[in-house]
């Protein structure tokens, strides 16, 4: 029987935070190449063929991801799609693949390399850990995504966490500042937002309808929420490893509270201890519909934007676990 060399496509975003210096970019590529030489491979398995695809402009990662799927579907043999960048790169490249025919994904497994300024949704904690794990990635798990659909707009996908409110404001503002200012501005923006976001942007009444895919009576959460976050699952973090979803629940909604309590809650968020506070609502749902009569920021896997009243209702839907993800045997 003819034996094919496994093919590994690596979509690289050279403008991601982990590639901030060109020398570092080259060093990481060298380490990745060495790891890939040992990938998928117990003897006598053939060594993989790897294809480097570098993004050139916004939206290019989406084009490259779809081109890879078309190639894999045409050849009808298994391949791996690795994305090297931050959470935004992974989402941009992999998320739109969920709009394709599910059969097109059955030959493809993904692996997200942590090469951005935000790596909360990656499949390894660091590049060193990723390169160490690559030779052992022989099992396949499955993951879902969150389909995010503003009113009268196309859907986008979150592979980790999506949210509206203060954290989306911090994400959006920090992304704009880091293009102009050196260093890590995230903590500074987060501290300032804690003080000024609510009085400046006038948090309004929000209502959210939560439904399960299994049916049953929907749950309604209503109030003045400063943050409403939805994860692909529970036990997830974002914003520099803040444990926003430390339990099995995939939804966290935080009501407005006085400044002193807000400062204390901010510290609890880093350790996942906020879930015991009376101002915090935790829940589990597959479908969420949010209604809001005002402007509010939205973030999807670390990429932020503002929404207006005309973009509500805002809908979130947890997909079935269609994406195949490579895992080391101990993690499977």
Q: Where are the domains of the chain?
A: 7-137, 148-318
Q: Which of 258, 204, 269, 212 is nearest to 236 (CA)?
A: 269
Q: Is the model's pLDDT at 70 over the cut of 60?
A: yes
pLDDT at 227: 96
pLDDT band at residue 20 using 50, 70 and 90 as cut-offs: low
For residues 12-23, give the mean pLDDT: 65
Residue 193, SS3 per DSSP: helix
According to the model, what pLDDT value does residue 194 have? 80
* Phi/psi of residue 219, nearest 5 degrees: -105, 140
In the prediction, which pLDDT does 31 show? 60
What pLDDT sits at residue 332? 45
Domain 7-137 has CATH 3.40.50.10330: yes
Please say if the pLDDT value at position 23 is more than 70: no
How far apart CA 143 and CA 32 sit, in angstroms, is 24
Residues 149-186 have pLDDT tens digits of: 999 999 999 999 999 999 999 888 887 776 665 556 66
The secondary structure element, H or E, covering residue 221 is: strand 219-223
How does the average pLDDT of the chain come out, rounded? Answer: 84
Tokens representing 219? Answer: 């749950």
Selection from 77-91, 188-202, 227-241, 305-319 with the highest mean pLDDT = 305-319
**Residue 139 in contact with residue 128, Cβ under 8 Å?**
no
pLDDT value for 184:
63
**Average pLDDT score over residue span 283-302:** 96
Using an 8 Å Cβ cutoff, are 83 and 61 in contact?
yes
What percent of the chain lies above the pLDDT cut of 90? 43
Selected residue with higher pLDDT from 6 and 19: 6
- pLDDT of res. 211: 97
pLDDT of residue 35: 59
Section 229-251 average pLDDT = 92
pLDDT at 40: 46
Domain 148-318 listed as CATH 1.10.10.10: no
- Joined together, the tokens standing for residue 319 give 């997909």
Residue 131 to residue 115: CA distance in whole angstroms? 12
Q: Between these two residues, 63 and 78, which has the higher pLDDT value?
A: 63
Tell me, yes or no, if the two domains 7-137 and 148-318 fold the same way.
no
Length, in residues, of the chain: 332
**pLDDT class of 115 with cuts at 50, 70, 90:** confident
Tell me the two tokens of residue 21.
């210096």
Q: What pLDDT is recorded for position 218?
A: 96
In 28-78, the DSSP E strands lie at 49-54
Cβ density class 144-158: b for 16+ within 10 Å, e for less? bbbbbbbeeeebbbb
Instruction: Give the pLDDT of residue 174.
Output: 80
Averaged pLDDT, 225-244: 91
Is the pLDDT score of 277 beyond 90?
yes
More confident site: 227 or 242? 227
| Cβ 221 vs Cβ 208: under 8 Å | yes
Q: What is the pLDDT of residue 43?
A: 43
Nearest-angstrom CA–CA distance, 161 and 238: 7
Alpha-carbon span 292 to 310, nearest angstrom: 9
| 293: CB partners within 8 A, 6+ apart | 204, 205, 309, 312
- ω into 78 cis (within 30 of 0): no
Residue holding tokens 């050196």? 182
Residues 296, 280: Cα–Cα separation, whole Å: 19
């Amino acid at each position: 029987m003819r034996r094919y060399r496994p093919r590994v496509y690596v979509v690289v975003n050279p403008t991601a935070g982990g590639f901030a210096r060109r020398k570092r970019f080259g060093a990481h590529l060298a380490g990745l190449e060495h790891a890939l030489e040992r990938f998928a491979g117990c003897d006598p398995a053939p060594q993989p063929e790897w294809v480097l695809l570098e993004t050139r402009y916004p939206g290019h990662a989406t084009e490259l991801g779809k081109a890879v799927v078309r190639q894999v579907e045409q050849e009808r043999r298994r391949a791996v799609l690795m994305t090297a960048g931050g959470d935004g790169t992974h989402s941009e490249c992999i998320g739109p693949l969920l709009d394709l025919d599910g059969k097109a994904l059955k030959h493809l497994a993904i692996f997200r390399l942590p090469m951005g300024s935000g790596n909360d949704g990656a499949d390894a904690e660091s590049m060193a850990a990723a390169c160490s794990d690559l030779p052992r990635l022989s099992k396949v798990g499955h993951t879902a995504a969150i389909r995010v659909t503003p009113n009268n707009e196309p859907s986008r996908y979150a592979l980790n966490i999506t949210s509206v409110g203060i954290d989306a404001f911090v994400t959006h503002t920090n992304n704009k500042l880091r293009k102009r200012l050196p260093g890590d501005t995230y903590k500074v923006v987060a501290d300032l937002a804690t003080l000024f976001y609510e009085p400046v942007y006038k948090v309004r009444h929000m209502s959210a309808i939560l439904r399960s895919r299994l049916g049953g009576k929907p749950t309604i959460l209503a109030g003045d929420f400063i943050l409403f976050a939805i994860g692909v699952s529970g036990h997830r973090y974002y914003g520099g490893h803040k444990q926003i979803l430390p339990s099995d629940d995939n939804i966290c909604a935080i009501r407005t509270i006085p400044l002193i309590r807000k400062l204390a809650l901010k510290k609890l968020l880093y350790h996942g201890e906020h879930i015991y506070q009376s101002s915090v609502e935790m829940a589990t749902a597959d479908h969420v519909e949010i209604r809001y009569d005002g402007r509010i920021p939205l973030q999807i896997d670390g990429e932020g934007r503002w929404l207006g009243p005309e973009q509500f209702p805002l809908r979130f839907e947890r997909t079935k676990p269609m994406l195949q993800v490579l895992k080391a045997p101990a993690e499977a």
